[in-house]
């Protein structure tokens, strides 16, 4: 895997939206925060356009992202927010210059399309992280923005978090891939579909019906995405919904049941996903995962 250059004071960070619309007011706190890191912020030309729920038309959103990809003066691209829309532009993007001069692509949720596509096709590390919209929200956990800064600057990342009763103990190493379960499910069979063989898979999701979670996990299983993993890390499975006749299992119980026949380490409640404590994960980086009785550790090895 290729590690893009780490950032230093004075470097430029581009902000675009590949999905839902956003306003300057929603971004201002994030802009102030990033500039406080000693970095300069460059906004996409069409960032504040609106086309129904989207941040401009597909063409406008694609042009903003393409411009940032091709601009050698931009050292990292932060996706302003998620929602839906990245998959509508992914096949229109030209990554040829990015391959020659890679840079950090950051975001989560709908941005899983980019993580998966870039990992599978170009072998470049990306950062699954909080986004500018979330950095300005009341109650935002400082660790979310702090670990994004640390990842961009090349500082060491290691997370220690409490064990959960459904964990499966063990110790392993492997390349970290994954992201939002719904997005991973949606790109299966496409050019953005990731090969999970010998990888450590990270999953998170938000606001899904429990039977949808089961359907998506069964789909991953039937497509061979779960059988040859080195480990499974599950972050926030937040605000799940159920029908009047309940499914009978929680989201994490569904996941644990789906992978019960395998023998790799599994941990839940990792501090990443649609939760306040959404810490940065370097996708495509080798990590060391240790799941024990009392705690779980996730260490990002030197890149």
For 226-264, the pLDDT digits (tens) are 999 999 999 999 999 999 999 999 999 999 999 999 999
CA nearest neighbour of 271 among 158, 183, 193? 158
Q: Domain 12-153 belongs to what architecture?
A: 3-Layer(aba) Sandwich (3.40)
Q: Closest Cα to residue 130, out of 119, 117, 113, 144?
A: 144
CATH 3.40.50.10740 residue ranges for the chain: 12-153
Task: State the pLDDT at residue 139.
Answer: 67
Cβ atoms of residues 106 and 77 within 8 Å: yes
Length of the chain: 303
Fold of 158-300: Glucose Oxidase; domain 1 (3.50.30)
Comma-separated ranges of CATH 3.50.30.60 domains in the chain: 158-300
Asked whether residue 44 carries a pLDDT value surpassing 80, the answer given is: yes
Give the closest residue to 43 by CA, choosing from 23, 20, 70: 23
pLDDT of residue 206: 98
Phi/psi for 159 (5° steps) reads -120, 135
pLDDT over threshold 90, residue 211: yes
How far apart CA 216 and CA 181 sit, in angstroms, is 7
Summarised one tens digit per residue, pLDDT across range 255-298 is 999 999 999 999 999 999 999 999 999 999 999 999 999 999 99
Question: pTM for the full model?
Answer: 0.97
Q: For residues 224 and 220, what is the distance between their CA atoms, to the nearest angstrom? A: 6
Asked if residue 138 has pLDDT above 80, the reply is: no
């Amino acid at each position: 895997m290729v590690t893009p250059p780490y950032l230093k004071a004075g470097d430029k960070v581009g902000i675009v939206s590949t999905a839902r619309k956003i306003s300057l007011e929603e971004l201002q706190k994030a802009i102030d925060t990033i500039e406080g890191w000693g970095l300069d912020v460059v906004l996409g030309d069409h960032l504040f356009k609106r086309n129904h729920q989207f941040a401009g038309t597909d063409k406008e959103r694609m042009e903003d992202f393409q411009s940032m990809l091709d601009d050698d003066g931009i050292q990292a691209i932060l996706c302003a927010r998620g929602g839906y829309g990245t998959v509508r532009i992914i096949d229109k993007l030209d990554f040829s210059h990015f391959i020659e001069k890679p840079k950090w692509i950051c975001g989560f949720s709908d941005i899983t399309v980019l993580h998966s596509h870039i990992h599978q096709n170009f072998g470049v590390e990306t950062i699954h992280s909080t986004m500018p919209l979330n950095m300005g929200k009341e109650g935002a956990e400082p660790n979310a923005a702090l670990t994004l800064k640390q990842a961009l600057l090349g500082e060491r990342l290691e997370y220690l978090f409490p064990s959960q009763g459904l964990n499966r103990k063990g110790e392993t190493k492997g390349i970290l891939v994954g992201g939002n379960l719904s997005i991973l499910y949606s790109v299966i069979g496409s050019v953005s579909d990731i090969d999970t063989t010998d990888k450590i898979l990270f999953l998170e999701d938000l606001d899904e019906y429990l039977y949808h979670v089961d359907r998506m996990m069964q789909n991953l299983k039937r497509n061979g995405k779960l059988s040859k993993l080195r480990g499974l890390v599950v972050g926030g499975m937040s605000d799940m919904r159920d029908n009047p006749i309940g499914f009978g299992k929680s989201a994490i119980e569904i996941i644990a049941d789906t992978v019960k026949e395998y023998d790799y380490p599994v941990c839940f409640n990792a501090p990443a996903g649609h939760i306040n404590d959404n810490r940065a994960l370097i996708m495509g980086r080798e990590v060391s995962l240790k799941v024990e009785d009392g705690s779980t550790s996730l260490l990002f090895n030197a890149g």
